[in-house]
Copies of this chain bind each other. A is one copy, B any other.
């Protein structure tokens, strides 16, 4: 099935998932405000290796409407726990090494809140948001990534 990528229900907002390159600048603008002096950002970049294999490129796919809704829920949970504004973008589609796969920006008056809200959102996002990654390796093989099948150390990546 195909959903229109990506949600445009919040005015000019493109939703949390996007098939366009993620630029950090606009996300910082969206999260920051003159009274929010602490801004913590997490960027997940496409790495060139995975479990010792060389990765050339990858494709993210998603259950888009649920991914949007679940990200909404996670952000609302963070907002209930910390006085922080959190902005999330996750790429879908084809990515190359070094691309920003996910960006989480948390802005708060105090840095502890910004760090905690940012960490919460990326952890929950990885645990709950329905997104899948297909990796294309240098040896010609292609695989759907299964973090649950990996050693714990790598699973936290």
A interface list, Cβ under 8 A from B: 24-25, 28, 32, 34-49, 97-98, 109-112, 114-115, 118-119, 122, 153, 156-157
Given the known inter-chain contacts A28-B43, A32-B98, A45-B32, please indicate yes or no for A37 contacting B157, CB distance below 8 A. yes
Q: Identify the 10 closest CB pairs spanning chains A and B, nearest first.
A: A37-B47, A34-B48, A41-B41, A39-B43, A110-B157, A37-B45, A34-B97, A40-B42, A110-B156, A112-B156
CB distance from A96 to the nearest CB of B (A): 10
Report copies per complex.
Answer: 2
A109 near B157: Cβ-Cβ < 8 Å: yes
Given the known inter-chain contacts A109-B157, A156-B110, A156-B112, please indicate yes or no for A36 contacting B43, CB distance below 8 A. no
* Chain B residues, CB < 8 A from A157: 37-38, 109-111
A115 near B115: Cβ-Cβ < 8 Å: yes
* Chain B residues, CB < 8 A from A43: 28, 38-41
CA distance A114 to B122 in the complex (A): 13
CA distance A47 to B110 in the complex (A): 11
CA distance A41 to B27 in the complex (A): 13
CA distance A156 to B114 in the complex (A): 12
For A36, A38, A49, which residue has the most chain B Cβ atoms within 10 angstroms?
A: A38
A115 near B42: Cβ-Cβ < 8 Å: yes
